[in-house]
Amino acid sequence: RNDPAAAKLRVYRLDTRTGALAALGMVDGGPGEAYGVCLARERGRLYAFSVLKEGEVLQVRLDLGRDAVRGETVRRLRLVTQP
């Protein structure tokens, strides 16, 4: 969990030879407190699903550069939230 007012997705690249992580950056994960995240790959594109505590889920397309990351929200879903 991070900032309760604005969720952020931090993205890292794993060097599989050394096991070291290199920070690529941070993208917007939506308004409100983050509650969970998952990743999916579809048709060669990488997506993060940012789950917010109030029941909204943002599908964020991640564009990974060599040394940076960009994110664009491509869909918003609404779920029933916990009491």
Segment 20-75, tens digit of pLDDT: 999 999 999 999 988 899 999 999 999 999 999 888 999 999 999 888 899 999 99
Cα distance between residue 68 and residue 4, in whole Å: 25
- 1 has pLDDT over 60: no
Cβ-based neighbour number of residue 52 at 10 Å: 20
CB 12 within 8 A of CB 20: no
Q: 80 vs 72, which has greater pLDDT?
A: 72
- The conformation of residue 4, written as its DSSP 8-state character, comes to S
Strand partners, 63: 70
Single pTM value for the model:
0.85
Q: Helix, strand, coil % (nearest 5) of the chain?
A: 0, 70, 30
